[in-house]
Structure 1
Amino acid sequence: MKAGGFTFIEVMVVLSCIVVLTAVGTTLPLHLFEKQETNDFFQLFDSDLIYLQQSAMLSSERNALYLDPEGHEYTIRTGGTARIILSRKIPKSWNIELRTLKMPLSFNSKGTIKQPGTMIIHTNKRRYKVVFPLGKGRHYYEEL
């Protein structure tokens, strides 16, 4: 009577196939997750800046955006009391370098940025230059 079962080599081949498939399956979503995290942040940052610009044009209350690169967050606060309207987190692994951009970032009643400038955002894989031009034009991104 023969004993049923697998040989050691058969078991090792099956286990190595499982390990390879698992390794390939987990590295692909991490890359997609980082790309989606970057897209989500820039989309949210864009909408917050549009809110800031529109509130400057429509309201007598002056709001400003304060970027804290060391604290990995930015906040929008009211002008006189500095009460926080909203606070957003920046991913911990990112580095933000304020080049010519001065804080706080604000707009006048006509929707023009008060102090134009640039900043560099270093993500895990890429670098982006964020430009806030003089005039009514909105900010834009350049991948470096």
Structure 2
Amino acid sequence: MSQWTTNNHFEWKSSSRSSLIKLESEKGFTLIESLIVLSMFLLIVSLSVLMIQPKMQSLDENMFFTKFKADILFAQQYALANQTYVNVFIPQGSHRYMLADGYTMILDHEFSERYSIIERTMPRTFQFHPNGNINMFGYFYVQTDNSKYKVMFQIGRGRFYVTEE
């Protein structure tokens, strides 16, 4: 039995010695290898950030026009529901639009400086009548950093749409 224990002990020592030899022969990554991996990681991250930027601008434009359309429809619905005139003001040089019922401000919305309103056949001030009709028709442009959008108000019931030019 002592021989078996000796052999067992010998085998244990032998396996422990081989693992120690194995650890001594393995070395970690060099500084250059670590820097190469880090630079590849930073390159991938920076490329993904650059690819996200146009998507963020597109989402911002969609959000702006969704809010603008909702506010114009709100002005029309407010005029119908309250049987009153609702004025829409887009002041020159400011980045905001306002809705008013006579002298009472209903809504005042500021928007990003990325957007500018270019007046064409539709003036910057127009009005919804108590029956929901608009007092004039025409269009104006909304200029962004990369795009130009046409906001067209149709004659009659105050319908409007936005198209990219």
TM-score by length of 1: 0.86
Contact 2:90–2:96 (8 Å) recurs in 1: yes
1:76 aligns with 2:99: yes
Hey, what does 1:139 align to over in structure 2?
Answer: 160
TM-score (normalizing by structure 2) = 0.76
Residue of 68, 79, 82 corresponding to 1:45: 68
Residue 67 of structure 2 corresponds to residue 67 of structure 1: no
In structure 1, distance between residues paired with 2:93 and 2:150: 18
Q: 1:88 aligns with which of 93, 109, 126?
A: 109
| Greater share of residues in helix | 2
CA RMSD of aligned residues (A): 2.0
**Closer, same or farther: CA 61–135 of 1 in aligned 2, 3 Å:** closer
Q: Does 1:17 align with 2:64?
A: no
- 2:122 pairs with 1:119: no
AA of the residue aligned to 1:93: R
One-letter amino acid of the counterpart of residue 99, structure 2: I
Measure, in 1, the Cα distance between the counterparts of 2:130 and 2:101. Answer: 14
- CA distance in structure 1 between the aligned counterparts of 2:130 and 2:94, rounded to whole angstroms: 30
- Tell me, in whole angstroms, the C-alpha distance in 2 between the residues paired with 1:93 and 1:46: 18
CA contact (8 A) 1:69 1:97 kept: no
CA distance in 2, matches of 1:62, 1:131: 21
Aligned length: 142
Matched residue, 2:6? none
Q: Is the 8 A contact 2:86 2:129 kept in 1?
A: no
Amino acid at match of 2:148: R
Secondary structure in structure 2 of the residue aligned to 1:102:
coil
Q: Deviation above 6 Å: which 4+ runs of structure 1?
A: none
Q: CA offset at residue 124 of structure 1?
A: 2.1
Q: Where do 5+ consecutive residues of structure 2 fail to align?
A: 1-23
Partner SS state of residue 60, structure 2: helix
Q: Deviations over 1:12-60 (max 9, x none)?
A: 3112212211112212332222111111111111111111112222323
Runs of 5+ consecutive residues of structure 1 not aligned to the other structure: none
